[in-house]
């Protein structure tokens, strides 16, 4: 299932990185931030609270991820170069990420910065969008977001151009939560 | 066709970029759509969508009430409004109460339908479209030319000019740079707007949810950043259950842009948390302008099944030449013709329904299974009832529905044209036909029609007899096609009879929206073929075959002639197209085709009615191949040649542009001959080849086969 998810996500223009454990996700994220120059010349990243973020002590995060801002507001998100958000579910057939984005911080972090790092538990990948949708109760989910690849447009001469309003780059970090989830 | 629409069509055809861009898109679209649907049972999927949307269309009122209840329970303000003025007034009032000076919008057909932007701007409120294409069109002060690709008619140079003005610097026509400029310019608008307006692709009654699909991500920003979110939703977007989202979500991106799924799908159920921690203010306007009336109409309620994918535009051979602007109102293409008539009124269609050539390509791809060609015919019928046809056209149908008068006229014309004829073609065309003869030569009427030549044909006596339905073109213009049919069937031991009282199949009247004349034709033909002594009724014209098989029984029923309709059903059951019948004869062993060698390579043109109404596109190919011809398939072999019966006379410019393209496709195969099964296509394509000086020999499948059987060529 992870393999299928990865192929579909890459077909949609996303990049996929795998980590063997939640702890291993952190260096994987650090590499992306580093690649994008976060921490240098005032470049920042935002990461709203989520199950993975809360595993790590803020001091560890500050040390591992220089330039990371934990308080997500319109201002910090609009100023950030990278937004990191945690997803609830993935749909393998289309490489789609699914998120209860009812908390405003999640939407600010995933829409405003030019780079989006999406965190996904390997065990949360299901077959397709239909299966993913069945995991949510709409009555308790004011904003359910499905994300497949980066922001795109073909509105000028039908030439595919990435990153018109949302992120230009989408990197998905899939992390294993227990042994036995290996591919 | 009103003169203003005709002028607009001409201007569109002369537009330097429009048809090139749209045609290139439609070529790519066919292949990429096929890829996107790979592994998916499209027929099953669209049956599911059609069922769910039809269910909803019959219960719009109830579902709207249910939606209002559930969405309100989630904290949204829901209002049901009926007219454009009410919707504009509501939003204007809200903007004033909140002291809003800037509104950002993501793409919404409903707000275009009510001219919301104009109303807000008039009140001094700045409105900014944020979908890139919509923004471009807004800056250009134009209207979208396509539902999904609003700015497809503009080039990168046009866009660079528009953006340079906004950015205050000269921008090169480099697309990534232009997109970056749009991102910067619009980002400021998102962050400072007081209200965000969206539409919705789906509204779910059971949960009060709205579903929005975008690729750019602008709808997410519109719904997230301003403190107030207003969704303007046409009530035809309602479905009953949350599960009903699934099939629409599977079909809409595939049909619209050939994607498995759009980059973003947002599902809103009540207001979410606001960026400052409070709760967002969310207003949902359920808008039903004329939709309830449509839902009560036995035919047009089907149009409410539309999911706005625009695939009927993408496959339309006319739309890709003329674009969306000639449609005048918000909705373009096949569905636009129907919606404009239903929503704006019968008089608003201004002859738009005449633009359709009835090729049926849209019906095959519609993911909501809407019978668009049939609905457009119904628009023709109702438009004709409101504004009766011109006198000349009415006179024509009154002659057409009287066989003696019609055939008498054709015989007289055959004599009268003599000084004008130049071999098989007309040399000088009378004034009213000059446009029609611009890029093709029109055939002369035959000196003697098939009905006069038939008694002289030497045929074997046989216990197996089939009747031949000639149709006007074979009878009076191409009797040699009829003779070829007879030779092929004779070789299989079938004796062919020609019932003299047969007349026009009724298709011209049917397609012009004159059911009474079509019924008169159908009745005459039922009488002419009432003899039970033949095993089949063969036609070498797919339009005639389709008319006898499906239209005749129906039009007789609908005009209150049940007894004739029952007889028409029996005639329909016996009627078969030439190639299908001959293939049957080959299969049963009655006919052996010679395995000839050294034959000219052919290419095959699919006639609209043979392929999409009769679904008989393979039998002629199989026959030609097994007779020894090499078939070289041309690109878009099933795209209409532009004949469309009287269409080529009513819309000569569009028709000849379609023909020119067909000729290019034929030439690209380097085949020496073109085969087809419709004498109408043959008249168009042969006339086009003659005018262009092309050496390609254009003949009916029956002629290509007969030439092998009797050794003559």
Rounded distance, CA A167 to CA B1, Å? Answer: 49
Give the mean pLDDT of B531-549: 94
Whether the pLDDT of residue B361 is over 50: the answer is yes
Tokens standing for residue B564: 């004739």
Residue A152 lies in a domain: yes
pLDDT, greater one: B421 or B140: B140
Nearest to A156 among B156, B249, B250 (CB): B156
How close is the nearest chain B Cα to the Cα of A75, in Å? 10
**What is the DSSP pairing of strand B281-287 with strand B77-81?**
parallel
Residue B392 lies in a domain: no
pLDDT of residue B403: 83
CA dihedral B621, B623, B624, B626 (to 10 degrees): 110
Q: Is B274 at the interface with chain A, CB within 8 A?
A: yes
Q: Please, which residues 137-176 of chain B have a Cβ atom closer than 8 Å to chain A? A: 149-152, 154-156, 159, 175-176
| Sign of the alpha-carbon torsion through B446, B449, B452, B453 | positive
Place of tokens 């004329």: B290
How close is the nearest chain A Cα to the Cα of B223, in Å? 10
For residue B111, the domain's CATH number is 3.40.50.10420
The domain boundary residue, chosen from B244, B274, B290: B290
Residues B54 and B140 in one domain: yes
pLDDT digits (tens, 9 = 90+) for B291-332: 999 999 999 999 999 999 999 999 999 999 998 888 877 788
- Could you tell me the residue range of the domain that residue B518 belongs to? 418-587
Residue A182 lies in a domain: no
Rounded distance, CA B615 to CA B611, Å? Answer: 4
Percent of chain B with pLDDT over 70: 96
Residues B68 and B200 in one domain: yes
Residue B388 lies in a domain: no
- Could you tell me the residue range of the domain that residue A19 belongs to? 2-175
Which residues face B202 on adjacent strands?
B211
Whether the pLDDT of residue A180 is over 60: the answer is no
Quickly state the pLDDT bin for B385 (edges 50, 70, 90): confident
Q: Is B132 at the interface with chain A, CB within 8 A?
A: yes
How close is the nearest chain B Cα to the Cα of A83, in Å? 15
Considering only CB atoms, which chain A residues are within 8 Å of B226?
Answer: none
Consecutive H or E run containing B266: strand B264-269
**Could you give phi then psi for residue B86, rounded to 5 degrees?**
-65, -40
Contact A149 B263 (CB under 8 A): yes
pLDDT digits (tens, 9 = 90+) for B98-107: 999 999 999 9
For residue B622, the domain's CATH number is 3.40.50
Residue B399 lies in a domain: no
Residue B382 lies in a domain: no
Q: How many residues does chain A have?
A: 183
Consecutive H or E run containing B333: helix B333-344
Q: Please, which residues 186-205 of chain B have a Cβ atom closer than 8 Å to chain A? A: 186-187, 190-191, 204
Whether the pLDDT of residue A179 is over 90: the answer is no
Is this complex's ipTM strictly greater than 0.90?
yes
Give the mean pLDDT of B592-597: 89
Residues B430 and B579 in one domain: yes
**What is the DSSP pairing of strand B202-204 with strand B209-214?**
antiparallel
Q: How many residues does chain B have?
A: 713
pLDDT of residue B228: 97
Residue A159 lies in a domain: yes
Residue A180 lies in a domain: no
Helices (H), B114-235: 116-122, 132-139, 156-167, 175-192, 218-224
Number of domains in chain A: 1
Contact A161 B179 (CB under 8 A): yes
Residue A181 lies in a domain: no
How close is the nearest chain B Cα to the Cα of A115, in Å? 13
Place of tokens 């650090």: A30
pLDDT of residue B4: 82
Whether the pLDDT of residue B430 is over 60: the answer is no
Q: Kindly report the average pLDDT of chain B as a whole number.
A: 92
- Pick the range with the lowest mean pLDDT from A151-165, B600-614, B626-640: A151-165
Residue B361 lies in a domain: no
Give the mean pLDDT of B489-505: 96
pLDDT digits (tens, 9 = 90+) for B433-482: 556 667 788 888 888 999 999 999 999 999 999 999 999 999 999 999 99
Residue A160 lies in a domain: yes
Number of domains in chain B: 3
Residue A57 lies in a domain: yes
CA dihedral B388, B391, B393, B399 (to 10 degrees): 120
pLDDT digits (tens, 9 = 90+) for A99-129: 999 999 999 999 999 999 999 999 999 999 9
Whether the pLDDT of residue A44 is over 70: the answer is yes
Considering only CB atoms, which chain B residues are within 8 Å of A166?
Answer: 216-217, 220-221, 263-264
| Secondary structure of residue B673 in the 3-state scheme | strand
Which of A7, A137, A144, A156 is the best residue to mutate to test the B interface, defined by the most B CB atoms within 10 Å of its own CB? A156
Rounded distance, CA B130 to CA B134, Å? Answer: 7
Considering only CB atoms, which chain A residues are within 8 Å of B130?
Answer: 165
Q: Is B543 at the interface with chain A, CB within 8 A?
A: no
Contact B216 A151 (CB under 8 A): yes
Residues B645 and B578 in one domain: no
pLDDT digits (tens, 9 = 90+) for B43-97: 999 999 999 999 999 999 999 999 999 999 999 999 999 999 999 999 999 999 9
pLDDT of residue B433: 55
Nearest to A164 among B25, B183, B273 (CB): B183
pLDDT of residue B445: 87
pLDDT digits (tens, 9 = 90+) for B174-217: 999 999 999 999 999 999 999 999 999 999 999 999 999 999 99
Contact A164 B275 (CB under 8 A): no
The domain boundary residue, chosen from B290, B307, B338: B290
pLDDT of residue B429: 52
Consecutive H or E run containing A18: strand A15-19
Residues B575 and B652 in one domain: no
Rounded distance, CA B700 to CA B485, Å? Answer: 10
Helices (H), B74-155: 84-97, 109-113, 116-122, 132-139
Quickly state the pLDDT bin for B397 (edges 50, 70, 90): confident
pLDDT digits (tens, 9 = 90+) for A71-87: 999 999 999 999 999 99
pLDDT of residue B712: 44
pLDDT digits (tens, 9 = 90+) for B653-688: 999 999 999 999 999 999 999 999 999 999 999 999
Considering only CB atoms, which chain B residues are within 8 Å of A130?
Answer: 246
Angle subtended by helix axes B175-192 and B156-167, to nearest 10: 40
Tokens standing for residue B335: 């569905």
The domain boundary residue, chosen from B234, B265, B290: B290
For residue A85, the domain's CATH number is 3.40.50.10420
Contact B132 A153 (CB under 8 A): yes
Q: What is the DSSP string of B21-55?
A: HHHHHHHHHHHHHHHHTTTS-HHHHHHHHHHHHHH
**Could you give phi then psi for residue B620, rounded to 5 degrees?**
-65, -40
Residue A183 lies in a domain: no
Residues B581 and B628 in one domain: no
Residues B655 and B558 in one domain: no
The whole-model pTM stands at 0.92
Residues B529 and B632 in one domain: no
pLDDT of residue B649: 83
Residue B279 lies in a domain: yes
Quickly state the pLDDT bin for B353 (edges 50, 70, 90): confident
Residues B616 and B578 in one domain: no
Tokens standing for residue A69: 């801002």
């Amino acid at each position: 299932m992870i393999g299928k998810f990865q192929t579909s996500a890459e077909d949609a223009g996303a990049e996929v990185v795998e980590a063997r454990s939640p702890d291993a996700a952190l260096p994987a994220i650090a590499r992306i931030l580093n690649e994008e120059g976060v921490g240098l010349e005032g470049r920042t990243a935002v990461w709203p609270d989520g199950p993975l973020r809360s595993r790590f002590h803020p001091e560890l995060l500050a040390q591992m991820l220089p330039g990371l801002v934990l308080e997500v507001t319109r201002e910090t998100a609009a100023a950030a170069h990278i937004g990191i958000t945690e997803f609830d579910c993935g749909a393998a057939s289309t490489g789609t990420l699914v998120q209860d984005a009812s908390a405003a911080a999640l939407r600010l972090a995933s829409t405003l910065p030019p780079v989006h790092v999406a965190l996904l538990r390997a065990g949360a990948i299901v077959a397709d969008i239909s299966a993913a949708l069945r995991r949510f109760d709409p009555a308790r989910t004011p904003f359910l977001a499905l994300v497949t690849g980066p922001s795109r447009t073909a509105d000028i001469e039908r030439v595919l151009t990435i990153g018109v309003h949302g992120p230009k780059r989408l990197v998905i970090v899939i992390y294993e939560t227990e042994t036995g989830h290996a591919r | 066709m009103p003169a203003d629409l005709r002028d607009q069509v001409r201007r569109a055809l002369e537009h330097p970029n429009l048809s090139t861009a749209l045609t290139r898109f439609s070529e790519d679209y066919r292949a990429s759509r096929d890829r996107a649907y790979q592994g998916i049972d499209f027929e099953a999927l669209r049956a599911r969508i059609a069922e769910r949307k039809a269910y909803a269309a019959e219960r719009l009122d109830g579902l709207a009430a249910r939606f209002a209840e559930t969405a309100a329970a989630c904290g949204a303000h829901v209002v049901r409004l009926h007219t454009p003025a009410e919707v504009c007034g509501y939003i204007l009032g809200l903007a004033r109460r909140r002291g809003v000076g800037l509104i950002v919008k993501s793409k919404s057909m409903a707000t275009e339908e009510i001219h919301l932007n104009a109303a807000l701007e008039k009140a001094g409120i700045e409105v900014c479209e944020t979908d890139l294409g919509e923004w471009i069109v807004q800056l250009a002060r134009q209207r979208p030319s396509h539902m999904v690709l609003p700015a497809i008619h503009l080039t990168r140079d046009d866009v660079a000019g528009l953006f340079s003005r906004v950015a205050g610097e000269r921008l090169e026509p480099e697309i990534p740079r232009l997109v970056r400029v749009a991102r910067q310019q619009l980002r400021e608008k998102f962050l400072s707007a007081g209200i965000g307006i969206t539409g919705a692709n789906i509204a779910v009654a059971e949960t009060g949810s709205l579903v929005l699909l975008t690729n750019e991500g602008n709808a997410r920003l519109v719904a997230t950043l301003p403190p107030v979110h207003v969704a303007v939703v046409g009530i035809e977007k309602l479905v009953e259950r949350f599960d009903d989202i699934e099939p629409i979500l599977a079909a809409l991106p595939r049909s619209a842009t050939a994607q498995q799924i759009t980059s973003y799908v947002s599902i809103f159920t009540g207001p979410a948390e606001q960026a400052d921690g409070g709760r967002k203010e969310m207003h949902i306007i359920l808008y039903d302008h004329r939709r309830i009336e449509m839902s009560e109409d036995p035919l047009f309620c089907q149009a409410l099944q539309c999911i706005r994918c625009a695939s009927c535009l993408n496959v339309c051979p006319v739309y890709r030449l003329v674009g969306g602007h000639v449609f005048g109102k918000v909705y373009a293409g096949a569905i636009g013709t129907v919606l404009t008539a239903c929503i704006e009124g019968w008089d608003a269609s201004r002859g738009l329904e005449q633009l359709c050539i009835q090729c049926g390509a849209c019906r095959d791809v519609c993911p909501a299974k809407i019978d668009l060609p049939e609905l457009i015919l119904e628009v023709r019928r109702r438009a004709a009832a409101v504004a009766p046809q011109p006198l000349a056209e009415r006179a024509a149908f009154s002659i057409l529905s009287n066989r003696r008068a019609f055939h008498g006229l054709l015989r007289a014309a055959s004599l009268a044209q003599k000084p004008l004829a130049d071999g098989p073609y007309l040399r000088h065309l009378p004034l009213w036909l000059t446009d029609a003869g611009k890029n093709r030569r029109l055939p002369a009427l035959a000196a003697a029609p098939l009905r006069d030549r038939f008694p002289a044909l030497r045929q074997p006596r046989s216990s197996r007899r089939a009747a031949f339905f000639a149709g006007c073109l074979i009878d009076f213009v191409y009797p040699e096609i009829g003779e070829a049919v007879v030779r092929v069937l004779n070789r299989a031991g079938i004796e062919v009879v020609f019932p003299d009282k047969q007349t026009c199949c009724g298709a011209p009247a049917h397609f012009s929206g004159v059911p009474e004349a079509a019924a008169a034709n159908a009745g005459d033909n039922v009488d002419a073929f009432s003899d039970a002594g033949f095993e089949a009724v063969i036609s070498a014209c797919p339009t005639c075959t389709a008319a006898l098989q499906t239209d005749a029984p129906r039009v007789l029923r609908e005009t209150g002639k049940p007894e004739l309709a029952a007889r028409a059903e029996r005639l329909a059951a016996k009627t078969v197209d030439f190639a299908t019948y001959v293939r049957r004869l080959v299969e049963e062993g009655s006919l052996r085709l010679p395995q000839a060698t050294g034959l000219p390579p052919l290419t095959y043109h699919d006639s609209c009615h043979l392929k999409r109404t009769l679904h008989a596109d393979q039998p002629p190919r199989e026959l030609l191949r097994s007779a020894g011809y090499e078939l070289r398939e041309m690109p878009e072999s099933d795209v209409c040649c532009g004949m469309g019966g009287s269409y080529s006379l009513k819309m000569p410019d569009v028709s000849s542009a379609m023909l020119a393209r067909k000729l290019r496709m034929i030439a690209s195969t380097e085949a020496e001959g073109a085969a087809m099964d419709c004498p109408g296509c043959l008249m168009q394509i042969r006339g086009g080849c003659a005018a262009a000086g092309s050496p390609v020999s254009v003949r009916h499948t029956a002629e290509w086969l007969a030439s092998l059987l009797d050794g003559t060529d």
